[in-house]
Amino acid sequence: MLTVTNSLTRKKEQFTPITPKKVNLYVCGITPYDYAHIGHGRCYVTFDLLYSYLRLHGYDVRYCRNFTDIDDKLIQKAEKEYGDKHRYTEVAQKYIDAFHEDMESLLCLKPDVEPRVTESMPSIISFIEGLIEKGYAYVVDGDVYYRVRKFAEYGKLSNRSLDDLEVGARVERNDKKEDPLDFALWKHETDKNFWKSPWGHGRPGWHIECSAMARDHLGDHIDIHGGGMDLLFPHHENEIAQSEALLGGTFSQIWMHNAFVRINQEKMSKSLDNFFTLRDVFKKYNPMVVRFYYLQHHYRSPLDFSFEGLDSAEKAYRKLCKQYVAHDADSGINLDTYLEQIQSNVFFKSLVSFVADDLNTVGSLGVLFENRSLDTESVAAGRFFMQYVLGLSLEPLPEKTVEITSEIQFLLDEREAARIAKNWALADALRDQLTALGFEVQDKKKS
Ligand SMILES: [Zn+2]
């Protein structure tokens, strides 16, 4: 029914949940120290599509997306903005609120649970204690490290051998560790304002947080774990090492990763300072155009972001709305009670079959555009698909208001003069010039 590409096996696989009809989905959330950028938007729209798809097909889905609300970046931001590193909770709250606004604008459904690291400390600490007991972790001067070589399957997600990894790890040698490959589970802090643990005061490493929060809210074994491609290594590799060492079995059956958003062929990221925040893009483009733009690209292909790309997405989206939404009034179908009936609609089935094939939204959009039949059934099926599968709003976009520059006004006046003089050849030539500049001239009959 649904096939997805599993990063763990590097294959497209049929999805079968551990418990029939129940799905536990974990997606790594943001570190709230700044506004979400369009790379974040792509990730959360991708998993929102998956979540909606599963729910629509009768699965009981539990979707968990966390907030990493304590981190070096939050502490630095608190120092910079408030002159007090302990005010990182205020930084976190500000950007969590902003993130929720952005997700709402993109019509992303709210996950069932959104745990925060600062509220999950007891389970993080007991997770680390369990790893120490089993010999997978050790304490040095109040820090706790994970013993990577003890986990025989380390590297299975990122397909790397320990030897390859060692070459990279030597560069940042830390003498406290037994082995350069080991990573921190707990970082000692002399500041008593941080959390108390059996190893002294401190705060957790990033990777352990997700292992602990996933276990807290979804259980020891989960169906699907998702995130951006940049998290595959080391973050997700380390999550597997931690969770499987403590809990045994396979931590997540399926690992799904969305590809990067790139700018000028480079990965867009905060650290490279080549990013656009969602809210800045929303000032110029309706969030539905942005959502549509994501859906026009397969989630596993890199998206080369450009404003020209957004402009053509807007044109295409308007066209699609004209095709399917404008017929609302005469379709007479109540979308909410339409689900049963629509499952057998041939056009709807063909649209859904693309999404069922590794979320191939590109294919389904092609079918939507190609459909020239405007019978009530297929128009209603298309609308239902747009709203409930693709998560697009059916509100028509407001007409775009454009500034008439003096150059455009000049051409309009010249053309009007030519028309009055009945110089049709000149009037037509001027109309062509206006068209080339992106303006469609419509002459209304004077009454
Ligand atoms: Zn994570």
pLDDT at 299: 98
**Exposed (0-12), middle (13-18) or buried (19+): which is 56, by Cβ within 10 Å?**
middle
CA of 28 relative to ligand 1 center, distance in Å: 4
- The confidence band for 48, taking pLDDT boundaries of 50, 70 and 90, is very high
* Separation CA 116–CA 130 (nearest Å): 21
CB contact set of 447 (below 8 Å; sequence gap of 6+):
none
Tell how far the Cα of 211 is from the centroid of ligand 1, in angstroms.
8
| H or E segment to which residue 62 belongs | strand 60-65
How far apart are the CA of 232 and the centre of ligand 1, in A? 9
**What confidence score (pLDDT) does residue 19 get?**
97
Q: Which helix (H) or strand (E) holds 13?
A: strand 11-14
User: Of the candidates 229, 291, 202, 182, which has an alpha carbon nearest to the alpha carbon of residue 28?
Assistant: 229
**245 CA from centroid of ligand 1 (Å):** 17
How many angstroms does the Cα of residue 400 sit away from the middle of ligand 1?
40
Quote the ligand 1 centre to 26 CA distance (angstroms).
8
User: Are 257 and 249 spatial neighbours (Cβ–Cβ below 8 Å)?
Assistant: no
Stated length of the chain: 447
Distance 116 CA to ligand 1 centre (A): 12
Ligand 1 center from residue 303 Cα (angstroms): 22
Which pLDDT value is given to residue 332? 57
What DSSP character marks residue 386? I
10 Å CB burial of residue 15 (0-12, 13-18, 19+) is buried
Residue type, 277: T
CA of 32 to the centre of ligand 1 (A): 14
Q: What is the pLDDT of residue 77?
A: 96
User: For residue 226, how far is its CA from the centre of ligand 1 (angstroms)?
Assistant: 9
Query: Global pTM?
Result: 0.88
Q: How far is the CA of 207 from the centre of ligand 1 (A)?
A: 6
**Measuring CA to CA, how many Å separate 57 from each of 144, 163, 210?**
44, 44, 28
Q: Is 447's pLDDT higher than 70? A: no
User: What's the 64 CA to ligand 1 centre distance in angstroms?
Assistant: 11
- Domains parsed from the chain with CATH numbers: 18-267 (3.40.50.620), 403-447 (no CATH)
> Cα separation of 78 and 74, whole Å?
6
**Ligand 1 midpoint to CA 190 (Å):** 26
For residue 417, the CA-to-ligand 1 centroid distance in Å is 66
The phi-psi region of residue 358 (left if phi > 0; otherwise alpha if psi is between -120 and 50; otherwise beta) is left
65-116 residue pLDDT tens:
999 999 999 999 999 999 999 999 999 999 999 999 999 999 999 999 999 9
Per-residue pLDDT tens over the stretch 349-404: 999 999 999 999 999 999 999 987 778 888 888 988 999 999 998 787 887 767 77
Q: Is the pLDDT of residue 330 over 70?
A: no
Lowest mean pLDDT among 63-72, 265-274, 294-303, 315-324: 265-274
What separation in Å is there between the alpha carbon of 395 and the centre of ligand 1?
Answer: 35
> What's the gap in Å between 155 CA and the centre of ligand 1?
17
What is the DSSP code (8-state) at residue 136?
Answer: S
Return the sign of the alpha-carbon dihedral for residues 154, 160, 163, 169. Answer: negative
More confident residue, 267 or 419: 419
C-alpha 2 to ligand 1 mean position (Å): 24
Kindly give the distance from the C-alpha atom of residue 86 to the centroid of ligand 1, in angstroms, as a whole number: 23
Of 28-32, 143-147, 224-228, 422-426, which gets the smallest average pLDDT? 422-426
